[in-house]
Structure 1
């Protein structure tokens, strides 16, 4: 029997109460009351922690997880009968499947490696954990099958899905706040980092490109392939751990990744606040400029003028707007964002959170951590554990302080991710 998700479903520090304007936007876009929106966020927070814990416990048997429509039930897929009771004991609903997540990701990687041969027949592809397969979107089935074959993937191992999507990167944008690139194109600030700048979308500018309002330059940029960048701003600008929600701001308190099925809200000056749900992760999107992999697919709307903007689940940073199809005035939107944790790890950046306050830049220096509360004593670092900013752990005999809230994943050991951990 399924067990309802509650805030005590798994150990770990709770996130801060959601901003009232975000609650109102969720109520508007989901057609629910504000009380129901608050309850949903509580359930989603519990689900994220449970998912991280089970991912570590199940190991190679893990095959993905997702929430149902109202986020009242977390389903976790596994490839082994022996893990079913472990899933039930955690308060989630088990589903026995054929392929583990590693197998699905490997199939998708083969398609990613063949991206140079993609045509307009294939708008994108992604891992679909709910159906335990890889979906290839197609406008022309014959062309899509040829693409899959040339990647060395068996047709029987993927599902072809007819699509009218025509994804485009939204480059003329304002998100939280506007900034300008070169001679006048606009993009939006994603999230402030303590390194003296902010993260944004890679298609907004190439490395070295100058910016104004705030003044600075692109210290790193990757597009296509990825769609991320960070801008180092000039002295005198004050960085804030906030996102513009038109009107007012939302505080950012970490970057714990939300589950498939969880609610997300995005900010953009063209369309304001809009919310939706996470549909799939690790999606590949075929833009005219080239293919971008590792994106998160959602049903929230956006329009040109929203690129690079912030995506939040409660008070947790999720990513920056990449592009998509549809509008906020009609039709069925499909929108993609670049996950923020990948950006932070790629450039060794530290997300600025409300526990660390704002910083006024002088000459940019290396990462500096927030001064939030620490645990009363060190604990040994463990996969699947949700760590709050300021938590301290021991790993291989060394002590580390958590710089931003997250759920520990394989490969995120403290020495490997300076964006998340600082040795003390």
Structure 2
């Protein structure tokens, strides 16, 4: 018997009680329990379901509970036993569902021994990447974000430059052109890339500092950290905090909802209590070096 990608077939159910300890036989309807009650029973027995069972819901028109199965339907009859003849329909599905979550610039990413900020989402063909600070990416190996596993480090350049890549290997992690503004307002959307220039009003986003804004006071500057010197950085009046490394620096949207990508937070002096200076790595450099295109909206 051959089935299409999605198919349904009525299954006979056992007359015995449900396999869940809390559920007993329910009478009052000729063909078994009502659909809503049947679904509640399956909900209570979710932990004991066959692994091929991926979902279930009430089909009001058919007055039946539809159980979605990916693969074999073995064990479904026993699991749903006691609901009454015709109360359950099996639906074979071509794919099992999976959770999905968004990769949003400005949110936290971490690996063993490293905590950074997601800079920008980028791609090269079908391959997807996160661009962040090189001094941070180089320390980690397998990276995770707010929704789970992202993927492994994909290369970095530090010192000299300060950028690195994380390869997005998880199908559940969805790349977006969004930047988180935390308590300041709704996410903004990246529409393109621009190079930093003196006087430009910019902002960065980080789970440590939230949304911080300032202006660019210098470009093409060399900054020396304990690990070595980095060239061609831009100096800004934005304040720095540990953990903001790799944070996305974008044009100030004002009252608008769109921005252009400018750079990545590299390092700084001072803090957000007393004030300070933040240096940024222009993002156009890693995009060119790795042949990447940003996700834009």
* Count of residue pairs brought into register by the alignment: 179
Matching residue of 2:163: 228
Does residue 177 of structure 2 align to residue 241 of structure 1? yes
TM superposition shift of 1:219: 1.1
Pair 1:188 & 2:131 matched:
no
Q: What are the superposed Cα offsets for residues 272-314 of structure 1, whole Å, 9 maximum, x if unpaired?
A: 1111111111110010010011111111112112111010114
- Choose from 277, 285, 291 the match for 1:342: 285
Q: Which runs of 5+ in 2 are unaligned?
A: 1-103, 254-258
SS at match of 1:218: strand
For the residue of structure 1 that corresponds to 2:192, the secondary structure is coil
Counterpart-to-counterpart distance in 1, 2:150 and 2:170? 9
Deviations 1:115-135 (A, max 9, x none): xxxxxxxxxxxxxxxxxxxxx
Distance 1:337 1:245 in 2: 18
The match for 1:318 is 262
1:180 CA drift (Å)? 1.2
User: 1:267, 1:215 → 2: CA distance?
Assistant: 20
Q: After the TM superposition, which parts of structure 1 deviate over 3 Å for at least 4 consecutive aligned residues? A: none
Q: Which residue of 2 aligns with 1:138?
A: none
Q: How far apart are 1:255 and its partner, in Å?
A: 0.4
- Structure holding more strand per residue: 2
Q: Which has the larger radius of gyration?
A: 2
Query: Please, which runs of 5 or more residues in structure 1 have no aligned partner?
Result: 1-173, 355-424
Query: By how many angstroms is 1:206 displaced?
Result: 2.2
Deviation readout 1:369-415 (Å, 9 max, x if unpaired): xxxxxxxxxxxxxxxxxxxxxxxxxxxxxxxxxxxxxxxxxxxxxxx
Q: Which residue in 2 is equivalent to 1:211?
A: 143
1:257 and 1:203 mapped to 2: Cα distance?
21
**SS state of the match for residue 286, structure 2?**
helix
Distance in structure 2 (CA, Å) of the matches to 1:228 and 1:219: 11
More helix by share: 1
Q: In the alignment, which residue of structure 2 is the partner of 1:297?
A: 235
Match of 2:77 in 1: none
Contact 1:175 1:269 in 2 (8 A): no
RMSD: 1.8
- Cα offset for 1:175? 6.6
CA contact (8 A) 2:196 2:219 kept: no
TM-score by length of 2: 0.57
* TM-score w.r.t. length of structure 1: 0.41
Which deviations, in whole Å up to 9, do the C-alpha atoms of 1:54-106 show, x marking residues without a partner? xxxxxxxxxxxxxxxxxxxxxxxxxxxxxxxxxxxxxxxxxxxxxxxxxxxxx
